[in-house]
Chains A and B, each alone.
Chain A
Amino acid sequence: MAENLLLQALSGLASASSLFLVAAGLTVIFGVTRIVNFAHGSLYMLGAYLAWTLVTALPRGPLGFWGGVLGAALLVGLIGVLVEVLLLRRIYRAPELFQLLATFGVVLIVQDLALLVWGPQDLLGPRAPGLRGSVEILGLRFPLYDLFLIAVGPAVLGLLLLLFHRTRWGTLVRAATQDREMVGALGVNQRLLFTSVFFLGACLAGLGGALQLPRESVNLHMDLAIIVEAFVVVVVGGLGSLVGAFLAALLIGELHAFGILVFPRITLVLVFLVMAVVLVLRPHGLLGRPPEAPPAGAGGAEPPLRPAPPALRRLGAAALAAAVLLPPFADAYALSVLTEMAIFVLFAASLHFIMGPGGMASFGHAAYFGLGAYAAALLAKWAAAPMAAGLLLAPFAAGLFGLLFGWFCVRLSGVYAAMLTLAFAQIAWSVAFQWVEVTGGDNGILGVWPDAWAADPLAYYYLTLAFCLGATLLLRRVLHAPFGYALRAQRDSPLRAEALGVDAFQVRWLAFSLAALAAGIAGGFFAYAKGSVFPTALSIPRSVDALLMVLLGGVRTLSGPIVGAIAFTGLQEQLMRLVELWRLALGAVIVALVLFFPQGLAGAARAAYERRHGPAGA
């Protein structure tokens, strides 16, 4: 028994090492550039594919193998440099998290390019020369390569620490990690520093991928399979902390290895449970420091809210008139797309409510969308309730969970808060996924169709439009009301808000719950629009979609989420239908939009308007 537990622990160590390599690059990049690099998983995948190509092309033997692995890591480093120089460098001054949108574009592009270059079938690389077999430990066999991996993690950690503590470059990196402004003051070539950090981070991702070659098959799902877990490790460890990331990887690797002995089905949710517990107890991760005040100056201060200028009001009125008057002439499919757009407008607006004016990004906003959808669907399934009841219950269920999860999340700040929302969303997701008796598991809940009076697509569209647009306008109204100002007040200057009697926690908590409630409305309508609800409604991709919509539209304008939701939904719908390589196309469009409109679409429109007419409203 004891020998089994020892081997289980060793297996956990090997996984921890693999995880650390990827997380190390991510945390180094984040520490210096503050970029939430969603494409890190893609770099990891490219590392594996490139290693496969090199290793199978080079002569067999240790030199070919290790040369291929290192070559792949360096190549990925260069790809990282390319991404940094061509794309990210141009948008460092954009609002926080905007770079996430750009890196998401890269993810999409890499997915299709990898499919084109390496084909759809999984590829199996050769095993490592000299490390093919296993050793006996207490009479049980353990792979040599896994032993090697166990050593690689600490070795890489040691080398990185040496690099950071014994070289001038490393000192600069550490200084930049602690205080970005200082780097400029030191007269350091910031561009070069950022590019070199990106190179190092990408190399580590590539190395992580390449070193998986002897263990795992190389496949097209590697990017998304690793990225979330890597983020969890980085955040649990404390953003920017290498040693923290190492400890977090150990914690997760070991908890996983032993967790499955007791609860085999815990695999889906374990890392998120760990993250939730760690963040609730330690709001800045294991070894993180409280973040410096967010770079308020990035991209300049946000302009005040003003009543919409006449031009925008006319445009809004025209759009509303079109939304009301034209649909009777549209076919049923166009109606279903318009219905979806109305739903996503509200979903995006609800995220923007906390993310823009509230200054609290959420990576798990789909939780409330999905909980709304599930509330409506469960009521229909188990109580055979009419549609109206389900639609009514949806926002309350979502709002209730918003109150519950929000109570924990709004105490944290920045990426920590965003990742805690993600943790709760994933916990909710795994409940929907695994509680088969009630939720139907991943096979979902079917037969959630509108009542007869709303079954006609046009009727359902109008119903959706009325409620979703109504709720969007209400949120907008709230932002103009004192509460909206209190929300922005605690974002603009927590110190001043507190000194004026504003209880920032209460304000954030209430805003979070309101946003959850609004997302729940959208979710309820979504359930009845689709006729079925699946765990995908509260999954990470759904949360990411909402983020993309808000960022695409522009986080600093009230019309941003509306424009972003319509643009994103429309783009994706068109491209998916008409273009085979739609991910490549969508990724390219996103990258182009990011480069041309770093303030988002609505932000760019406002800037153009202001150039002509002077300061405008939102």
Chain B
Amino acid sequence: MTGRAIARRHLLAGAGLGAFAAPAILRAQEEAIRIGEINSYTTQPAFLIPYRNAWILAQEQVNAAGGINGRRIETLFRDDAGRPEDAVRLAGELLRSERVHLLAGGFLSHVGLAVADFANQHRRLYVASEPLSDALVWSRGNRYTFRLRASTYMQSAMLVEEAAKLPARRWATVAPNYEYGQSAVRWFKELLQRARPDVRFVAEQFPALGRIDAGATVQALAAANPEAIFNVTFAADLTNFVRQGATRGLFERRQVVSLLTGEPEYLEPLGDEAPENWIVTGYPWEQIDTPEHSAFREAYQRRWNTNPYLGSVVGYETVNAIATMLRRVNGTETEAMVEAMRGLRFQSVFGPVEFRAIDHQSTMGAYVGRTVLRDGRGTMADWRYADGANYLPPDEVVRQLRPAAT
């Protein structure tokens, strides 16, 4: 259990960093470029502790390489406890009291949307890292908000591509009962039926997020006797769903297509009970041996003595994107930063990425593959990198989806 002990130690180290180190940095770095980072650290630690670790790593690398045109970058981390109203207050604190030059972060969609709207109102740049909601760049997209992570739509589209190849015609869905789950199901249905008009959806389940009644949910799905299942549950809900489903034989002779399940955050806790042969999006961190990714993996392991999670990549690339943007801009003037973000290209550990000018969505993709068990733990096989650029709607559709902003 060394991994756990390490996580704990770093948490404490991080605590020290947040509480005591900030004032010292403040004094020493008058001309540093300051990033205000807001995230739900206390409510989503499983994703966000690796995220922040990688963020710190990336920042150290940028600064070690001489910073941005000679200026260091530094980050003020804030915990919003999963509450959008607190996130908005902290955004105000970071902008007005701490005078940060831009805002970043976000894990939960509604928190991300609140900060994005705040950034728009106050005309400051917000680089959203994780929140998956399509609304962030489409229906409620605005000039000042950019998003790194592949959205709900994109990841659903990646899976639809695989799902359409399956013979299954009777489908059931299970998704947590909130916007992310509902949108994922909606897109999946719409896109799959477009690709395969013969497909029918025979059942849907929407357990409450974090409170799935897995036995009843599995039984209800089984009763509809689908040929395939689209799963959107994650974290504890996923674990409980998998256990009940496996014991009750729900997954036998049925294809399962599942969002995010290939991410180590969610696969690792399942241990040797990880489901096999599910088609998933995820991150096979130990198998990606491109030079960029290998370098990242080694640096991360060296710095934090543990393996990277997907959260690590998201944190790392958010800093990477911001640094690349800053190198293009002379100074930290918001409008200049926004213009530089539009169409910004940079090299991520997954491959080249572009922040599309049309909707401020990055084209960072995800890995699509099958889950397998190896050495008593779950991982991905037959995977490929799905470039996000290929899973976005045509431009004219995007313009309709994004009515308000330019």
**Chain A residues proximal to chain B, CB less than 8 Å:** 1, 4, 7-8, 11-12, 14-15, 111-112, 115-124, 127, 133-134, 140-143, 145-146, 215-217, 219-222, 225, 229, 256-257, 260-261, 264-265, 267-268, 331-334, 336-337, 340, 433-434, 436, 441-444, 446-447, 449, 526, 530-532, 534, 536-537, 541, 573, 576-583
Contacts and interface: CB of A to CB of B under 8 A. Distances in A.
B372 interface: no
B113 A532 contact: yes
A122 B236 contact: yes
B25 interface: no
Interface of B: 4, 7-8, 11-12, 14-19, 41-43, 45-46, 48-49, 78-79, 81, 83-86, 88-90, 92-93, 95-97, 109-110, 113-114, 116-118, 121, 133, 135, 140, 177-179, 182, 204-208, 210-211, 213-220, 222-223, 235-236, 239-240, 243-244, 247-249, 265, 268-271, 273
A256 B213 CA distance: 8
A598 to B, nearest CB: 28
A120 B19 CA distance: 20
B178 A433 contact: yes
Given A260-B220, A337-B89, A442 B8 contact: no
B220 A261 contact: yes
A513 B223 CA distance: 47
A465 B88 CA distance: 20
Contacts of A141: 247-249
B235 A541 contact: no
A256 B220 CA distance: 11
Sorted nearest first, the 8 A-B pairs with minimum C-beta distance are A120-B45, A580-B15, A11-B215, A217-B239, A122-B269, A4-B223, A257-B216, A446-B117
A222 B14 CA distance: 24
B225 to A, nearest CB: 9
Contacts of B268: 121
Contacts of A229: 211
B106 to A, nearest CB: 13
A116 B243 contact: no
B21 to A, nearest CB: 11
Given A441-B178, A442-B178, A531-B88, A225 B96 contact: no
Contact of B117 (A7, A215, A220, A531): A531
A119 B220 contact: no
9 contacts: A117-B8, A119-B11, A121-B269, A134-B249, A140-B248, A143-B215, A257-B216, A265-B177, A336-B89
Contact of A140 (B45, B116, B222): B222
Contact of A121 (B46, B182, B205, B207): B46
Contacts of B89: 336-337, 340, 530, 573
B206 A267 contact: yes
Nearest to B77: A580
Contact of A526 (B85, B116, B118, B215): B85
A265 B121 CA distance: 34
A124 B273 contact: yes
A431 B48 CA distance: 30
A442 B97 contact: no
A447 B109 CA distance: 16
Given A215-B244, A531-B114, 15 more contacts: A1-B223, A8-B219, A116-B8, A119-B11, A120-B7, A143-B247, A225-B210, A447-B121, A526-B85, A531-B117, A532-B88, A532-B117, A541-B83, A576-B79, A580-B15
B332 to A, nearest CB: 19
Nearest to A142: B248
A8 B220 contact: yes
A446 B93 CA distance: 20
Nearest to B273: A124
A484 B200 CA distance: 62
Contacts of A534: 84-85, 110, 114
B339 to A, nearest CB: 23
Contacts of A7: 219
B11 A115 contact: yes
A520 B69 CA distance: 51
Contacts of A532: 84, 88, 113-114, 117-118
B14 A264 contact: no
Given A12-B216, A265-B206, A268-B208, A124 B46 contact: no
B223 A536 contact: no
Given A134-B248, A580-B19, A443 B219 contact: no
A260 B203 CA distance: 11
A11 B79 CA distance: 38
B273 to A, nearest CB: 7
A124 B239 contact: yes
Nearest to A122: B269
A337 B219 CA distance: 49
B355 to A, nearest CB: 21
A449 B121 contact: yes
A262 to B, nearest CB: 10
